Amino acid sequence: MIEQATHRGQSPQFLLFGTLGCHLCEEAARELVDVLPVDGVTVREVDIALDDGLMAQYGENIPVLRRCSDGRELYWPFSADDVRALLGYRDNSISS
């Protein structure tokens, strides 16, 4: 689970939007655990079912990974290379 890579009390650097029971969200979370370096990278899973606004915004588009610093988002399916690019670059080549 992504929460294991999250440092308690620290604002997350990334948000992973999804819902409980979403198999694609679970797959994305597993991929993130494999790709993201553990040290210094914080990711928080957000259940959009708990917020009507998020449900309206993301609905059928989950999972979505958002970089908190600038709001860049990756919509599923995203590859390990897409995640690495989101980690290290702030350019327009990242799919959204």
CA dist 93 and 71 (Å) reads: 15
Element (H, E) at 25: helix 23-35
CA distances from 54 to 17, 48, 69 (A): 9, 5, 19
pLDDT of residue 52: 97
pLDDT of residue 38: 64
What is the tens place of the pLDDT at every residue in 10-41? Answer: 567 999 999 999 999 999 999 888 887 766 78
Report yes or no: 63 and 77 within 8 Å, Cβ to Cβ: no
Q: Into which CATH architecture does domain 2-88 fall?
A: 3-Layer(aba) Sandwich (3.40)
What is the tens place of the pLDDT at every residue in 47-89? Answer: 999 999 999 999 999 999 999 999 999 999 999 899 888 887 4
Q: Which of 58, 53, 42 is nearest to 6 (CA)?
A: 42
pLDDT of residue 8: 52
Q: Spell out the domain ranges in the chain.
A: 2-88
